[in-house]
Structure 1
Amino acid sequence: MLAVIGAGLLWGTGGLCGALIIDRTGLAPLGVAAYRLAIGGGLVVGWLLLTGRLHRLRLHGRGARRLVALGLLAAMYQSCYFAAVSLTSVSLATLITLGSSPVLVVAAEGLLGRQRPDARTGVAVTTAVAGLALLVGTPAAGDPAAVLAGTACALGSAAGFATITMLGARPVDDLGPLPTAGLSFCVGGLVLLPLAAVTGGVAVDLEPSTLGLLVFLGLAPTALAYGLFFTGLRSVATGSAALIALLEPLTAAVLGVVVLDERLGAGGLAGAVLIGVAVLLTSLRRSRPTTTADDGVSPLGRPGRGTRPGPHPTSARRRRP
């Protein structure tokens, strides 16, 4: 649970950092997303090489396919997200992306598990959506066409993040969270860099401030945040993890007010409180999905991980003296 909370807080710095990079360098959103994945993945792979953990990895066909899938999803998610940032604002793009993701994840869990989420999850999702609506509100300024396009990009980003969350909860080939994040992001960076070079260019001035922003973007909200997130997904239900990730829009909104002089207003503050309540409701639930004595199904529709069904009542009676 703490790992997912830490990931949400670190993610909240990504939108602001990306916006500052775009403002300083003139990079297109696709270029920022490409640098984010390439630098973040490269830092993780470098760390794995230094510690001797990379050569001990044993990848088979399924594990390699999972890394490629995660890398392609990350490329789509990041490029759509930064496109939404450039078309709207840091707060709006982040809030739509992360606000839609829990709804998509919980809906997918319900469909795959063929069981409705429990009452606490339903209340948390409803509260989060209501808070999101208040926090976003109606854009006070901006081209309506740009706002509509940015919203579409943010929803595409939400779909990519929701799929990453679902896949990250089902590790293969005993890949650790950090190798999974690093290797998949290298794949995503290699996919995006040529596209960014063709569409908008990737050249930047090698100034210390610019390099510092790029390294921070690759390290804190990318390598560290996703390493923590994949770690948390090993024990936290995916619907709960997606809800706790709403700490990202809260952090982004606060940073937008403090650094970019964006205004929330009374409705935005009320929305922030509601999102905080939704995150609190989710955090108070048990880390692992609990099972019932009757059917062994978790509240989010998945078998509880790390649990074994008890003995059948009939067999238990036969063992009694």
Structure 2
Amino acid sequence: MSTKVFLIFAGVLWGTGGLSGALLHNLTGLHPLAVAAYRLLIGGVVATAFLPTQIRRIRFTRVVIRRLLSVGVLLAIFQASYFGGVAMTSVSLATLVTIGSSPVIIAVIGAVRSRRLPSARTMVCIGLALAGLALLAGMPSTRDTWQTASGILLCLVAASGFAAFTVINRVPVLAAGPTISLGLLVGGVVLLPFGLSLGMALPWRADVLMTVLFLALVPTALAYGLYLRALRGASAVAAALSAVLEPLTATVLSVLFFDESLRLVGALGGLLLGVALVVNYSAESGSAQGEPALPGPRRGAGVES
């Protein structure tokens, strides 16, 4: 499948993560950080179990270890900061700030490194995405000015973590599967002490266990694996823009299955997000966004051929 298809699937699968995470919280009463710890840890365990041959072939050089630690820590930072931002503001505002600012941060990094402004197409895509997210999320009421500012700061930290995750993984060290499976394990271990301190006891019921497995596998291991695979042939900004499918998918699923209504303003926001994605994906991957497509992992970098 093409790079664009991988990015679309990743964004859509991420859109199921918020709903399944909220369902797990409702079923168990777990703190969001405990949910995030389960998400990363179990996703990493199961994904690693499915890749025994690739894992055994890894040569854990200093470069490989550094990359896996970076991936795991950035995933943990993203999850913890985002959930912290949600707790201090609201889901809609946290999603708007986190997903909306990620491509902006990446575009700024690219402009500084290349010493040239982003392409007109990139700027149009980012502008449409930001406008669409703002309309889709609405302008949520806030409780306290300082609390809201702190929450937004946490969301910017989350966005920076996702941006850094995207940028560093454009240069692959390992194949996408081992990178994300072991990276999720590292991230889960990082969040585990926080989760344990907040309580991680799960009732042994079929609905709870199925929800945990779905959250860990579909919007986590599979979605991030597809995203890393697509990063080899897409620009960082184009890849980050695929994340706007997350709130769009979540909104559609909420309307279809949870009897939530979508106002005209929200529908217009969804339309703008769709236009942003069409403009983004209508370009050829990589060079159309001002960044060359990257080759696969170098021989001997970490996985033996």
Same fold (TM over 0.5): yes
User: Equivalent residues in 2 for 1:144-223 (5 A)?
Assistant: 144=144, 148-172=149-173, 175-198=174-197, 200-223=198-221
Counterpart amino acid of residue 207 in structure 1: R
Task: Give the CA RMSD over aligned residues.
Answer: 1.9
Moved more, 84-93 or 202-211: 84-93
Distance 2:211 2:240 in 1: 27
Counterpart amino acid of residue 8 in structure 2: I
Instruction: Give the equivalent residue in structure 2 for 1:123.
Output: 124
User: Equivalent residues in 2 for 1:97-112 (5 A)?
Assistant: 97-112=98-113
Asked if the contact 1:77/1:160 (under 8 Å) is kept, the reply is yes
Inter-CA distance 18–90: structure 2 relative to 1 (3 Å threshold): farther
What secondary structure is seen at the aligned counterpart in 2 of 1:287? Answer: coil
Inter-CA distance 80–67: structure 2 relative to 1 (3 Å threshold): same
Distance 1:250 1:112 in 2: 31
Asked if the contact 2:7/2:226 (under 8 Å) is kept, the reply is yes
Residue 65 of structure 1, CA deviation: 0.6
CA shift digits 1:255-279 (9 cap, x unpaired): 2334455444221111111111001
Instruction: Give the equivalent residue in structure 1 for 2:250.
Output: 252
Inter-CA distance 147–22: structure 2 relative to 1 (3 Å threshold): farther
Question: Which structure 1 residue ranges, 5 or more long, are not aligned?
Answer: 291-298, 307-321
What secondary structure is seen at the aligned counterpart in 2 of 1:204? Answer: coil
Instruction: Give the equivalent residue in structure 2 for 1:143.
Output: 143
Alignment counterpart, residue 28 of structure 1, candidates 31, 43, 57: 31
Question: Which structure 2 residue ranges, 5 or more long, are not aligned?
Answer: 296-305
Asked if the contact 1:19/1:85 (under 8 Å) is kept, the reply is no
Asked if the contact 2:36/2:80 (under 8 Å) is kept, the reply is yes
Moved more, 91-100 or 37-46: 91-100
Asked if the contact 1:19/1:90 (under 8 Å) is kept, the reply is no
Instruction: Give the equivalent residue in structure 1 for 2:83.
Output: 82
Structure 1 segments (4+ residues) deviating >6 Å: none
Instruction: Give the equivalent residue in structure 2 for 1:68.
Output: 69
Inter-CA distance 191–304: structure 2 relative to 1 (3 Å threshold): closer
Moved more, 82-91 or 207-216: 82-91
Instruction: Give the equivalent residue in structure 2 for 1:236.
Output: 234
Instruction: Give the equivalent residue in structure 1 for 2:301.
Output: none
Moved more, 20-29 or 141-150: 141-150
What secondary structure is seen at the aligned counterpart in 2 of 1:245? Answer: helix
Inter-CA distance 262–76: structure 2 relative to 1 (3 Å threshold): farther
Distance 2:257 2:83 in 1: 18
CA shift digits 1:186-206 (9 cap, x unpaired): 0010111122112x1111111
Counterpart amino acid of residue 165 in structure 1: T
Q: TM-score, structure 2 length as denominator?
A: 0.89
Inter-CA distance 261–82: structure 2 relative to 1 (3 Å threshold): farther
Distance 1:87 1:261 in 2: 26
CA shift digits 1:71-110 (9 cap, x unpaired): 0110011122233444555444333321221111111111
Q: TM-score, structure 1 length as denominator?
A: 0.85
How many pairs are equivalent? 291
What secondary structure is seen at the aligned counterpart in 2 of 1:53? Answer: helix
Inter-CA distance 289–108: structure 2 relative to 1 (3 Å threshold): same
Instruction: Give the equivalent residue in structure 2 for 1:38.
Output: 41
Residue 217 of structure 1, CA deviation: 0.5
Instruction: Give the equivalent residue in structure 2 for 1:7.
Output: 10
Inter-CA distance 142–208: structure 2 relative to 1 (3 Å threshold): farther
Distance 2:83 2:258 in 1: 16
Asked if the contact 2:285/2:293 (under 8 Å) is kept, the reply is no
Asked if the contact 1:91/1:252 (under 8 Å) is kept, the reply is no
Inter-CA distance 94–158: structure 2 relative to 1 (3 Å threshold): same
User: Equivalent residues in 2 for 1:230-309 (5 A)?
Assistant: 230-289=228-287, 299-300=289-290, 302-305=291-294
- The structure with the largest alpha-carbon Rg is 1
